[in-house]
Amino acid sequence: MESNNYSLAGWLSVAQVVLLPLSFIVSFVEEGIAWNLFNTDRPFIGPSDFIMLLFSIIWIYILNKLKQLLNDHYQCHDLDLLIWISIWWMVIFQVFIFGLGILLMILWPVNEFTFGLIFLIFFGGAIVTIGLVDIFIAIKLLKIKERLSEYLKVFAFLSLAAGFCEVTILLSPLAVLLVPVISIVLALIFFKDRPVVEYV
């Protein structure tokens, strides 16, 4: 029974639902502690950053398992390149965020305008890029929607919605809100996905 191959990915998808909001909560707590106890707004790498790193590592694993599921259940290899782009996007994004955080710690105080501009340019380019990838993933999935399970169809529409939010940049926070929903749908895909069997 192939579903056993994806059970870990399913449980990790459920964990993602908790990890993302947890990282934001811990981040707010960290900033409050830094300001109230140490009276400083100096940047630092704290627990929230490592929670996000764990989130990214799990997301990379989930994406790889999704690619495997599409290959195994649907013989669909059209999304392989797009999923690999998503994986490497996540790696590069995390390396940049950690690298920038370390630089800020070392060079503080810094010219906030310069660093802010660098971050905005990178962030804007990264968000538009992953938005386009999400849209293309959705389009390719919807082209074969007759063969897909209901959960994969929902995933395709959610990817399309998230992609459009991301490419606008201004609506990208809405894409973040969709992440827990997407994670739940991915968990259902890994636990229950079955190809649609056509009878003739």
Q: In whole angstroms, what is the distance from residue 20 CA to residue 54 CA? A: 10
What the block records as the tokens of 82 is 């797009």
CA distances (Å), 110 to each of 55, 94, 100, 106, in order? 29, 21, 12, 10
What the block records as the tokens of 3 is 């579903």
DSSP SS3 for 169: coil
**Total-model pTM:** 0.86
Instruction: Report CA Rg, the chain.
Output: 19
Q: pLDDT tens for the chain, 200 residues: list them.
A: 344 689 999 999 999 999 999 998 988 887 777 666 655 566 667 788 899 999 999 999 999 999 999 999 888 898 999 999 999 999 999 998 888 888 877 877 767 777 778 888 988 999 999 999 999 999 999 998 888 889 999 999 999 999 999 999 899 999 999 999 999 999 999 998 766 554 44
* C-beta separation of 67 from 80 below 8 A: yes
* C-beta separation of 86 from 130 below 8 A: yes
Question: For position 38, what pLDDT does the model report?
Answer: 58
